[in-house]
Amino acid sequence: MHKISEPLATRHSQILGVGDYRPSRIVPNLEIVDLIDSSDEWIRERSGIESRRYASADESVVDMSVAAGQKALTAAGITAAQLSAVIVATVTYPFQTPSAATDVTLRLGNPNAAAFDISAACAGFCYGVGMASDMVRTHSAEYVLLIGVEKLSDFTDPTDRGTAFIFADGAGAIVIGPSDRPKIAPMIWGSDATAREAIVMQPSWLELRNPDGLANSGNIGWPDIKMQGQTVFRWAVYQMAPIGLKAIEAAGITVDQLDVFIPHQANIRIIDAMAKAMKLPEGITIARDVRVSGNTSAASIPLAMAALYDSGEVKSGQLALLIGFGAGLVYAAQVVELP
Ligand code: COA
């Protein structure tokens, strides 16, 4: 019997460049409040959100991905032709197949890279970091473009008081490639699937095709996100801090050695509560991009990372804890060295 030959020894991986794309249309709270009987003050106090961006009708998930991806490639000093794989994390690409990633790699000018999408909601980007890192480490890929992108304005009911002010649009991207030393620590990931009904996008396409057999009451016009806000809030605040601490431990560092915290940008109160629960050191840089970007699900961590570079708050070589969590309920976290 033949045996598969010894695989190449695993190597290390790193993030090589970051890119973002923010739609030009800024939507302040005052533009949202009338339809949900709310106020600028209430939204700021409960979520920290001051404004968000909405893509225009002709601006697609793929358009935003390509723009962010090109910026990340330039920052990494890599051409699209050098990519072995393109991964798109999203829950708002409006086609089940073929994937958004195939269109992205085609439009970037590399129609032969491996390409697929990840459906892990607000944890999708961190899932992707772990997967891309392992692909590079085990020689399944040389360079991987990972994009987190959402056009949540297409799937949010503007009259839903629990979601209309939260969700928004944008794209962020990174390139992951080989490294001479470890710069992406192991991913801590998992789910709490018993709570999978806490955030849903309903109704299903089958129900839309056959409204007579509708399982869900209410909306039969279009799939929108529905959320049990308090359930999600409590889960994030109490369950995610221990996951962040496990990721720090997996990186072989202590909390005091962390420079930057870039959590999923769900809500400023969740971010602050997690930082407190993990006892992050004074003076650590904490991403609070949610204030001007809203919650962009899979895009929120790379968008927040790019914003920290733009504001000069982070520099190359710093250690950042990333943590994504959301619909599923699913989560993933890892420590990375910033490029
Ligand atoms: N504007 C004004 N008032 C609102 C409102 C809105 N948009 N939505 C609810 N309210 C009112 C309610 O009517 C209620 O009033 P009452 O006390 O007089 O009955 C009060 O505010 C509290 O409502 P509640 O639904 O308990 O709000 P909350 O304190 O849980 O805050 C969220 C709502 C959505 C901000 C909060 O639950 C949250 O941040 N959840 C996590 C959401 C999230 O980040 N999801 C993404 C995870 S990936």
What are the mean pLDDT values of the chain's consecutive 10-residue runs (339 residues total)?
87 98 98 96 97 97 98 98 98 96 98 98 98 97 98 95 96 98 98 95 81 56 89 93 98 97 97 96 96 98 98 97 97 98
Pocket residues for ligand 1 (CB within 6 Å)? 36, 38, 42, 46-47, 122, 161-162, 165-166, 227, 229-230, 232-233, 266-267, 270, 295, 326
Residue 270 lies in a domain: yes
Residue 263 lies in a domain: yes
Same domain, 133 and 197: no
Catalytic residue (choose from 110, 126, 264, 267): 264
Domain count, the chain: 2
CA–CA gap between residue 262 and residue 302 (Å, rounded): 9
Catalytic residue (choose from 110, 122, 126, 267): 122
Residue 19 lies in a domain: yes
Q: Per-residue pLDDT tens for 65-84? A: 999 999 999 999 999 999 99
Residue 157 lies in a domain: yes
Report the CATH number that the domain containing residue 83 is assigned in CATH.
3.40.47.10
Question: Which residue out of 30, 38, 43, 46 has the highest number of ligand 1 atoms within 8 Å of its CB and is therefore the one to mutate?
Answer: 46
Select from 179, 200, 217 the last residue of a domain: 179
Amino acid at 53: R
CA–CA gap between residue 159 and residue 44 (Å, rounded): 18
Same domain, 237 and 121: no
CA–CA gap between residue 226 and residue 246 (Å, rounded): 30
Residue 126 designated active-site: no
Task: Look at ligand 1, atom 12, and give the residue with the nearest C-alpha.
Answer: 161
Select from 133, 153, 179 the last residue of a domain: 179
For the CA of 36, the closest atom of ligand 1 is 7
Residue of 128, 148, 135 whose CA lies nearest to 302? 148
pLDDT score for 205: 83
Whether the link from the prior residue into 83 is cis, omega within 30° of 0, is no
Same domain, 151 and 269: no
Residue 331 lies in a domain: yes
Same domain, 174 and 270: no
Sign of the alpha-carbon torsion through 102, 104, 106, 108: negative
Same domain, 36 and 83: yes
Domain extent, residue 53, equals: 12-179
Three-class SS string for the chain?
A: CCCCCCCCCCCEEEEEEEEEECCCEEEEHHHCHHHHCCCHHHHHHHHCCCEEEECCCCCCHHHHHHHHHHHHHHHHCCCHHHCCEEEEECCCCCCCCCCHHHHHHHHHCCCCCEEEEECCHHHHHHHHHHHHHHHHHCCCCCCEEEEEEEEHHHHCCCCCCCCCCCECEEEEEEEEEEECCCCECCCEEEECHHHCCCEEEECCHHHHHCHHHCCCCCCCCCCEEEECHHHHHHHHHHHHHHHHHHHHHHCCCCHHHCCEEEECCCCHHHHHHHHHHCCCCCCCEECCCHHHHCECHHHHHHHHHHHHHHCCCCCCCCEEEEEEEECCCEEEEEEEECC
